[in-house]
Amino acid sequence: MIITIDGPAAAGKGTLAGAIAKKYKLAYFDTGMVYRAVGLNMLIHGYPLEDENSAEKLACELTFPQMIELSKMPDFRSPKGGKAASMVSAYPKVRQALLKMQQDFALNPVFEDGTPASGAIYDGRDTGTVVCPHADVKFFITATPEVRAERRFKEFQAKGIDISYDEVLKDVKARDERDANRASAPMKPADDAIIFDTSTLGIDDVLQKACKIIDTKQKNS
């Protein structure tokens, strides 16, 4: 079984994907990691984020183990790393270069320790539309920018990252703008995606509803 969860930053995709992965024993691919890896690698090499050719080169060279190594660095999930990821993800050639690596995971899904899984769950922005257009179940999770900024702000506070709520909100809105308006694979729900708004629905309610949909799909296949 292949499941996709798309939606904007801090909508609750990761929490939902993690819970579903655990319940149904699926391998989990957080696809934001491929863009974070390339963005962080640009910063490490000292390349300007406007340098599309270098971003494409680093994307072409990226391997799964290299992505895992980069993910251990503090800036991988910092505001700086997030902005770098968002900027490089707008380049069509970067997206193209990273597509096969994401699609291959569905052909051979594995858990973190390398053992094979019977299926995969993806989260990202275009996993239901571009990466896995034939996924069995597709979700799109959203929430207002203010609710999402509040969640991200609390996460940063817990990690001791010094940033104000207003700066986080500004960043959330800037990322939404880039994700929704880029030329290649803009963020949007797939035609067959089920949409949940986590500003009004708690994550536990969303999980319960999502599981019902997955169970029905499993029974009928």
Q: Which residues would be at the binding site for ligand C5P (CB under 6 A)?
A: 9, 31-32, 35-36, 82, 85-86, 89, 124-127, 175, 179
Of the two residues 155 and 192, which places its CB atom closer to ligand C5P in the complex?
155
Nearer to ligand C5P, 35 or 196 (CB): 35
Please list the residues that pair with 124 across neighbouring strands: 6
State the minimum distance, in angstroms, from the CB of residue 101 to ligand C5P.
12
**CB-wise, 154 or 212, nearer to ligand C5P?**
154
Which is nearer to ligand C5P, 155 or 221 (by Cβ)? 155
**Nearer of residues 98 and 115 to ligand C5P, judged by Cβ:** 98
Cβ(153)–Cβ(82) below 8 Å: no
Query: Is residue 147 a contact partner of residue 8, using CB atoms and an 8 Å limit?
Result: no
List all residues 6 or more positions away from 80 whose beta carbon is below 8 Å from its beta carbon: 43
Give the residue at shortest CB distance from ligand C5P: 32
CB of 70 to ligand C5P, least distance (A): 13
CB 151 to ligand C5P: min, Å: 12
- If the CB atoms of residues 26 and 130 are measured against ligand C5P, the closer one turns out to be 130
